[in-house]
Amino acid sequence: MSLITPPLEPGRKHVIVIGGGFAGLTAAKELARSASLYVTLLDQRNHHLFQPLLYQVATAGLRPSDVAVPIRAQFTGVPNVSVHLAQVRQVNLQERWVEAGEDGREVRVGYDYLVLACGAQHSYFGRNDWEPFAPGLKTLEQATEIRRRILSAFELAENELDPERQRALLNFVVVGGGPTGVELAGAIADIARTVLVRDFRRINPFSARVVLVEAGPRLLPAFSEELSQRATRDLMELGVEVRTSARVTGVDAEGVQLGDERIVARSVFWGAGVEAARLTRVLGVELDRAGRVKVTGDLSIPGFPEAFAVGDVAHIEVEGQVIPGLAPAAIQSGKLAARNITRSVEGKPREAFRYRDKGSMATIGKHRAIAQTGALKLTGFIAWLAWLFIHVLYLIGFKNRVTVFLEWTWSYLFSKRGARLITQQDWRT
């Protein structure tokens, strides 16, 4: 296998960025501003995903293309960035190369600097056999699969003659009381009660049962106790059953086991745990329990000052506090790693990472939310407006901003959903 590098002009340094999420994309854009760098951005998907809105794709509120943009198109006219659709198989920090590509056709590419930004995935806490029955919500494919399962459940229930099977089809269990679980559960309850309720003849979608299961004592532990209570109340008003201090001990095709209790449900969705992308395991460096790379104050990997880890794949501690896996943290860390590379190339000292907490938000159903920034706490409709404004603002691409805004206006005015398509996995006739 040959080691290749892009045709670099003399004096130019080669930076490999792995991952086109918030952290990687921000890093690549920042790095591209330096004419003395050439950036190779690798991602196993061709699109950057705006993950905070993914639950809306899963619940037929937005279309996949509303929340995703081609990574390649972000660098149109930027000559010193090259984007490659490639799965990274191996990273050798000692010899400074990355191996990517399909089986038997791997290619090794050397680097001067590395930015590891390959993100996180759902963790089933060692029970990966639950995944087929309880998909998580991290990729567009998973969102489309969850959408297919939700909409198909109502369709199958409409056809079902056996009342018991019909009830199982109209039971939905969401595991995990963090923002993903809360938003997903709220949106399922909402779609059943406001959108689908008019369109069925035999079943009443209003009777759908949505159960949100959280192992800890309360929902949304990252928020204040008060906001967490408010979110719980809002969810219950939407008809969601909230089960805290309830640990899932089994998941299968027919439902969920909570210790001795059985919840029969044909649809189970997983938003419980996250762990770093599997790639971290090949690095041979210190990881935390979630598989994240522990980094130094300048975000480089200990012992490898030219290699950085940022975003959800990094375990970043500032003054004893672990930085949360949120989009603003990913953007800030991606930016600082890029700046530190530029500063190193320019012979300047590096900067330490400082986290500006932009707060957290979560929506509950159609027009309620909770939001918290420092001492400021918002709830209800006002919080929802703030959520809406910030999410439209931070969406990448002018066009996505316009279409998402139109889509939301439309759905707000008419209680319709723009993306109620069930598409099969197999395209063959």
Sheet holding 171-175, edge to edge: 240-243, 209-213, 171-175, 267-270
Of 105 and 356, nearer to its own copies (C-beta) is 105
- Report in angstroms how near the CB of residue 70 gets to its own copies at its nearest: 4
Contact 27, 335 (CB under 8 A): yes
Of 107 and 222, nearer to its own copies (C-beta) is 107
- Report in angstroms how near the CB of residue 68 gets to its own copies at its nearest: 6
Name the residues that contact its own copies, by CB under 8 A: 4, 45-47, 63-65, 68, 70, 72-73, 75-77, 79, 82-86, 101, 107, 121-122, 131-132, 135-136, 138-142, 144-145, 151-152, 155-156, 158-159, 161, 198-202, 399, 403, 406, 410, 416, 418-429
User: Which residue pairs from 254-263 have beta carbons closer than 8 angstroms and sit at least 24 positions apart in sequence?
Assistant: 254/168, 255/168, 255/171, 255/173, 256/134, 256/173, 256/175, 256/213, 258/213, 263/171, 263/173, 263/211
Contact 40, 13 (CB under 8 A): no
DSSP state of 425: S
- Report in angstroms how near the CB of residue 300 gets to its own copies at its nearest: 28
- Report in angstroms how near the CB of residue 353 gets to its own copies at its nearest: 28
Of 236 and 402, nearer to its own copies (C-beta) is 402
Of 94 and 429, nearer to its own copies (C-beta) is 429
Q: Which of 30, 99, 145, 183 is catalytic?
A: 183
Closest CA to 136 of 125, 123, 147: 123
Answer yes or no: 106 catalytic: no
- Report in angstroms how near the CB of residue 79 gets to its own copies at its nearest: 8
| Residue 116 tokens, joined | 């590891």
Beta bridge partners of 362: 370
Of 201 and 356, nearer to its own copies (C-beta) is 201
State the Cα–Cα distance between residues 102 and 250, nearest whole angstrom.
35
Using alpha carbons only, give the angle 81, 83, 84 rounded to the nearest 5 degrees: 150
Neighbours of 232 (CB within 10 A): 21
List the catalytic residues: 183
